[in-house]
Amino acid sequence: MTALARSWVESANDPDGPFPLNNLPFGVFTVGDEPASAGRCATAIGDQVLDLAALEGAGLLPESGFSEPSLNRFMSLGAAAWSDVRERLTSLLAHETQEADGADAATNDVVRAALHPAGEVTLHRPFEVAEFTDFYAGRHHAFNVGSMFRGPDNALPPNWLHIPIGYNGRASTVVVSGTDIRRPLGQTKAPDADRPVFAPCERLDIELELGAVVGTPSEMGSAVTVDEADDMIFGYVLLNDWSARDIQTWEYQPLGPFQAKAFATTIGSWVVTKAALEPFRTATPPREAELLPHLRDTTPMLYDVELSVSMSAGGDEPTVLSRTNAKELYYSAAQQLAHHASSGCAMRTGDLLGSGTISGAESGTYGSLLELSWGGDQPFTLDGGQTRSFVQDGDTLALHGHAEGDGYRIGFGPCVGTVLPAHD
Contact 283, 302 (CB under 8 A): yes
pLDDT for res 294: 96
Nearest to 415 by CA among 126, 172, 119, 157: 126
* Domain-ending residue, one of 98, 124, 150: 124
Nearest to 20 by CA among 121, 89, 119, 109: 89
pLDDT for res 213: 98
Segments in the chain below pLDDT 70:
1, 98-103
- 2 in any annotated domain: no
Residue 159 shares a structural domain with residue 307: yes
Q: Could you tell me whether strands 181-182 and 415-420 are parallel, antiparallel, or unpaired per DSSP bridges?
A: parallel
- 348 in any annotated domain: yes
- 113 in any annotated domain: yes
Residue 180 shares a structural domain with residue 315: yes
Distance (Å, rounded) from C-alpha 157 to C-alpha 254?
14
Residue 157 shares a structural domain with residue 300: yes
Contact 390, 376 (CB under 8 A): yes
Residue 409 shares a structural domain with residue 298: yes
Sign of the four-CA dihedral 97, 101, 103, 105: positive
Q: Which residues are catalytic?
A: 141
Number of domains the chain contains:
2
Nearest to 345 by CA among 181, 202, 163, 217: 217
* Domain-ending residue, one of 96, 124, 152: 124
- 79 in any annotated domain: yes
- 85 in any annotated domain: yes
Residue 90 shares a structural domain with residue 224: no
Could you report the per-residue pLDDT of 309-362, keeping only the tens digit for each?
Answer: 999 998 889 999 999 999 999 999 999 999 999 999 999 999 999 999 999 999
- 86 in any annotated domain: yes
Distance (Å, rounded) from C-alpha 268 to C-alpha 125?
8
Nearest to 372 by CA among 50, 178, 144, 211: 144
Nearest to 230 by CA among 303, 170, 313: 303
Nearest to 411 by CA among 209, 270, 313: 270
Distance (Å, rounded) from C-alpha 213 to C-alpha 198?
35
Q: Residue 210 maps to which CATH number?
A: 3.90.850.10
What number of other Cβ atoms are within 10 A of residue 396's Cβ?
Answer: 19
Q: Residue 29 maps to which CATH number?
A: 2.30.30.230
- 78 in any annotated domain: yes
Residue 33's domain comprises 10-124
φ/ψ bin of 261: left (φ > 0), alpha (ψ from -120 to 50), beta (otherwise): alpha
Residue 399 shares a structural domain with residue 323: yes
| pTM, full prediction | 0.97
In the three-class reduction of DSSP (H, G, I as helix; E, B as strand; rest coil), residue 405 is classed as coil
Residue 311 shares a structural domain with residue 361: yes
Residue 175 shares a structural domain with residue 261: yes
Residue 119 shares a structural domain with residue 219: no
* Domain-ending residue, one of 70, 103, 124: 124
Residue 232 dihedral angles phi and psi, to the nearest 5°: -75, -20
Distance spanning both ends of the chain, measured CA to CA: 54
Residue 142 shares a structural domain with residue 50: no
The verdict on whether omega for the bond into residue 126 sits within 30 degrees of 0, i.e. cis, is: no
Distance (Å, rounded) from C-alpha 241 to C-alpha 173?
10
Could you report the per-residue pLDDT of 326-336, keeping only the tens digit for each?
Answer: 999 999 999 99
Residue 86 shares a structural domain with residue 114: yes
- 251 in any annotated domain: yes
Residue 202 shares a structural domain with residue 94: no
pLDDT for res 8: 96
Residue 406 dihedral angles phi and psi, to the nearest 5°: -85, 90
pLDDT for res 17: 98
